[in-house]
Structure 1
Amino acid sequence: MWDYYTDKSILITGASGFLGTAITHRLASKAHPKQLIKKWRRNLPEWDAHWLLNLESITVIDGDIMKVDLGIPQETIGELQKEVDIIIHAASTINLTYSLGRVFDHIVQPSESLAQMALGFTSLDRFVYVSTAFANTHLYKLSSKPETEINEEIYPLLGEGKLLDDSLLSAQDARDQIMKTGSSTEFEVHDFPWPYAYGKHLAERLILNLFKAKGWASKVLILRPSVIGPAERYPYPGYSVPLSTPSTALATAMIASPAFNVVVPTRCSKPEVEATIDEVPVDVVVDRMVAHVALNTTGCVHAVGGERGRLSFMDFWGAAMKLRRLPWAPQIIWSPTVDWHSPDLHPVLRLYVILGTAFLFTDKKTDRLWQMLSPDERDCLQRGPSFQRGYWCICVAEQREFWYTMSPSIMLSQKPNHLF
């Protein structure tokens, strides 16, 4: 598996970020790529950062995905077009407060532009787009069941969640509508928890359309992580970047909040045990991507905890409350009537609106892939269910001090109202 990367030139966008740093470190330390082409800043211990920065296989490119041609000279573009074998597009905002217009500018348009550029890369073997497992969370409102199952597929919009043969045909129309009006018909019809989720959904379809039109659909891998958490082992145990691990940020906000109660929307009859959080360590995400790329998996792949690796709400809540300094724990008020866009929600939970839901992200492609790996390959890959919650608690404790000093406006209101 690792031999696939030997002498490959890999372009990584977002390599200075939380996930991108983990990708770069893993490939540089385990594989033997010809060249990792990236922009990177120090999210690692000094000795590790020094090692990466001095590798001859790494070329730093100061690019900007929001600019035409990444904002880099045409001469550099020409070199990339001839040399790059693999593109990993990991650059993305994860800001859940962004409007659709900002999501379009920061996610949709740059992703489509990079995919368009990639079609001119003569040696391109794989194009990896890092999306999110929550790109299809609109399906929650199309069902009355407590648990929403989401498969490794492209789900069309305006189609009641059913898979259609022409599911990709409306992507360009939606993009054009957003450019003209700031929104799209399909976005208005479907109830996404955040514009971010819809932006990822649209970007997936636009990228696939471009590659499909050129006959390159088999080169595309869409990686859909769930909530990315601190690392289990790589680059080091507990590796995290402040505010880049959503469940850690949520837990620290809850720990520091002076609120006496918190309203959580749900339709679960026993939300304490039925509502779940699907979190996966960042190094598990990286290892899934590395394996699926090498073994030529195409289409959408979930990098998730899945049915066996999900946390119940009480597992999450109990771990967080153990770190709380205030002498009371906020009371959870479960509400089947409060919508996840309701102003009655506390400020932080207006971002983490899926807290009372249960999503089952299937990962059958990874199950099949696991059977294809040799014992040695399995031994060196991370397995999600072994993730130790102790590392998560350490990261929460580290960020707790930050939250205790934040402005009260960020705190919760005190108003009453896997496999590898």
Structure 2
Amino acid sequence: MTTIPEYYTGKNVLITGATGFMGKVLLEKLLRSCSGVRNVYVLVRSKAGQSAKARVTDMINCKLFERLQEEQPGFADKIIAVNSDLTQPELNLSKEDRSILTENVDIIFHCAATIRFNEPLKDAVQLNVLATQKMLALARRMKHLQIFIHISTAYANCDKDLIEEVVYPPPVDYGKLIDCLDWMDEELVSTLTPKLIRQHPNTYTYTKALAEYLVQQEASHLNVAIVRPSIVGASWKEPFPGWIDNFNGPSGIFIAAGKGILRTMRASNDAVADLVPVDVVINAMLAAAWYSGSQAFNRPRNIMVYNCTTGGINPFHWGEVENCINMSFKTNPLEQAFRRPNVNLRSNPFTNQYWTTVSHTLPALLYDGYLMLTGHKPRMMKTITRLHKSMMVLEYFTSHSWVWNTDNMTMLMAQMSPEDKKIFNFDVRQLHWAEYMESYCMGTKKYVLN
């Protein structure tokens, strides 16, 4: 088999979700480590008066792309921004752009999705399910497509304790659900959502499960693979340690703890915190496309699914997360902290509720009272309320553990050459959690808060 960089040489790659956290890291890594790639088409919608091209130009001027700029000054010439909206019919592509894509694209990475856990069901279906359906329809028209990589989540099947690397049938027929949502008003959908999602904790995991099944059913003759990352965190090594650019998922919680705002949180100390660094996920995605794309004429009967997780190989627990956060932010404090960092995880909901009142609500009310007396606008209670909403959404994941089969990930690594294993490293056995968490916490300080 060819090496991974050799496989991408001369290829045209299409990325959706390129302006998102994972999409940016994918774009940077692809251009830096597979410098022979011909063009990278990125589907981007115009936003707030900014064209797709302007948004991409802004994006590649951020810190993430500095190393690439030094190593390959002309890299931007390979990025082609394509104006598109995945929620619109025909992806809102112009005839010219559609023709260019169908004639040229060899590889697709479909990363676009809503990652808001509490997205209204109609919107979540639109962004996670229907957009995937439209992308598959476009892919079927492509004359040279070798592989379609669909990015899902390891929690798509979180209603099961053991999650194999297979596509599971969803609780409802996605076609019937789409038809029903079409005529239902928002109020009715909101009322029915808990019954529809059943054992799923939110609309995000539910619609990602539907999207996986849709991919399996509608891929037709396409060569498809699904990559399922768990909780995606800051970079481990590439392009530099600790890169993070958002408050999503654990990052916002870490920052709140570092600021001394978050003092108590419902979680099981013994539950596995299945964090996975973003560069590990991206390396696995690039390797999965290489492996399946190279096997285009000898592909497996079933869709290849990769559980990109850490818990079964190098487990890290929420109790350890607590210790690492407290140590990191006490050693390297955040500026303008509300209090000294000292977060405590509690598995008992009643104990947690008591400490929420004592260490969150009362101090926030007192601080807001002080602000009002000194002629300032109160703000802390608003911050605490927002924090509590975020924590309620995450509670399900911090209080449960799952077992993911990772045989396909192990197989994929075994197929790689020693050099590829270095360049596209996703061997999480080498990951030292205390060091990673320190660079993650410092990354929030350096790249998110500054």
Q: Same fold (TM over 0.5)?
A: yes
Preserved contact between residue 277 and residue 310 of structure 1 (Cα < 8 Å): yes
Cα contact 1:249–1:396 (8 A) shared by 2? no
Q: What does 1:292-307 align with in structure 2 at a 5 Å threshold?
A: 292-296=288-292, 298-307=303-312
Match of 1:309 among 301, 311, 314: 314
Kindly provide the amino acid, as one letter, of the partner of residue 285 in structure 1. V
**Shift in alpha-carbon separation, 1:229–1:200, aligned structure 2, 3 A:** same
- Name the SS of the counterpart of 2:14 in structure 1: strand
Q: Is the 8 A contact 2:242 2:441 kept in 1?
A: no
- Is 1:188 the counterpart of 2:192? The answer is no
Alignment match of 1:352 (pick from 394, 400, 403) = 394
1:19 shift after superposition:
0.8
Compared CA separation, residues 209 and 185, structure 1 to 2 (3 A): farther
Residue in 2 aligned with 1:62?
83
Q: Which has the larger radius of gyration?
A: 2
Q: Distance in 1 between matches of 2:228 and 2:66?
A: 31
Give CA deviations for 1:52-88 in whole Å, capped at 9, x if unaligned.
7744332222322222333231111011101111111
TM-score by length of 2: 0.74
- 3-state DSSP class of the match of 1:192? coil
Question: What residue in structure 1 maps to residue 275 of structure 2?
Answer: 279
Alignment RMSD, CA only? 3.0
- Name whichever of 296-305 and 41-50 sits farther off: 41-50
The residue aligned with 1:387 is: 431
The residue that corresponds to 1:178 in the other structure is 181
Q: How does 1:26-45 map to 2 (within 5 A)?
A: 26-31=29-34, 32-38=36-42, 39=44, 40=56, 41-42=59-60, 43-45=62-64
Q: Is the CA contact 1:262–1:346 (under 8 Å) kept in the aligned structure 2? A: no
Structure 2 counterpart of 1:237? 241
**CA shift digits 1:92-113 (9 cap, x unpaired):** 2211231212212222221211
Which residue in the other structure is 1:409 paired with?
A: none
Give matches, 1:163-174, under 5 Å.
170-174=173-177
**C-alpha distance in structure 2 between counterparts of 1:99 and 1:288, whole Å:** 31
C-alpha displacement of 1:248: 2.2
Q: Distance in 1 between matches of 2:413 and 2:344?
A: 42
Q: What letter is aligned with 1:366?
A: M
Distance 2:68 2:306 in 1: 30
Aligned length: 371
- The aligned residue for residue 284 of structure 2 is 288
Cα distance in 2 between the residues matched to 1:26 and 1:259: 34
The aligned counterpart of 1:96 is 117
Query: Which residue is 1:201 aligned to?
Result: 209
Q: How much has 1:240 moved relative to structure 2?
A: 1.4
Question: Which position in structure 2 is the counterpart of 1:262?
Answer: 265
User: Which position in structure 2 is the counterpart of 1:227?
Assistant: 231
Quickly say closer, same or farther: Cα 1:306–1:174, change in 2 above 3 A.
same
- C-alpha separation in 1, matches of 2:11 and 2:134: 23
Cα deviation 1:259-304 (Å, max 9, x = unaligned): 664344xxxxxx423x011111111111111112111174321111
SS state at 2:77 partner: coil
CA distance in 2, matches of 1:46, 1:222: 27
What is the distance in 2 between the residues matched to 1:262 and 1:186?
24
Q: Partners in 1 of 2:141 and 2:99 — Cα distance? A: 10
Asked if 2 retains the 8 angstrom alpha-carbon contact of 1:252 and 1:403, the reply is no
- Hey, what's the Cα distance between the residues in 1 that align with 2:133 and 2:201? 23
Distance 1:402 1:8 in 2: 32
Alignment correspondent of 1:364? 407
| 3-state SS in 1 of match to 2:347 | strand
Distance 1:19 1:330, change over 3 A: closer
1:154, distance to aligned residue in structure 2 (A)? 1.6
Partner of 1:162: none
Give deviations 1:348-406, integer Å, cap 9, x for gaps: 3212121111112221101112222222222222222333443433442453699999x
SS at match of 1:138: coil
**SS of residue matched to 1:390:** helix
Letter in 1 for 2:314: G
Question: Is contact 2:232–2:278 with CA below 8 Å preserved after alignment?
Answer: yes
Q: Which amino acid aligns with 1:251?
A: F
Find the aligned partners of 1:391 and 1:249 in 2 and give their Cα distance: 17
Structure 1 residue 237: deviation in Å?
1.8
Mean Cα displacement is larger for which, 201-210 or 254-263? 254-263
Q: Which amino acid aligns with 1:7?
A: G
Tell me whether 24-33 or 186-195 shows the greater mean CA deviation.
186-195
Alignment of 1:75-90 (within 5 A): 75-90=96-111
1:152 lines up with 2:165 in the alignment: yes
Q: Secondary structure at the match of 1:307?
A: coil
Contact 1:255–1:400 (8 Å) recurs in 2: no
SS in 2 for 1:134: coil
- Tell me what 2:416 maps to: 373
Structure 1 residues 56 and 94, CA, compared in 2 at 3 Å: closer, same or farther? same
Unaligned runs of 5+ in 1: 140-147, 159-168, 265-270, 339-343, 406-420
1:399 aligns with 2:444: yes
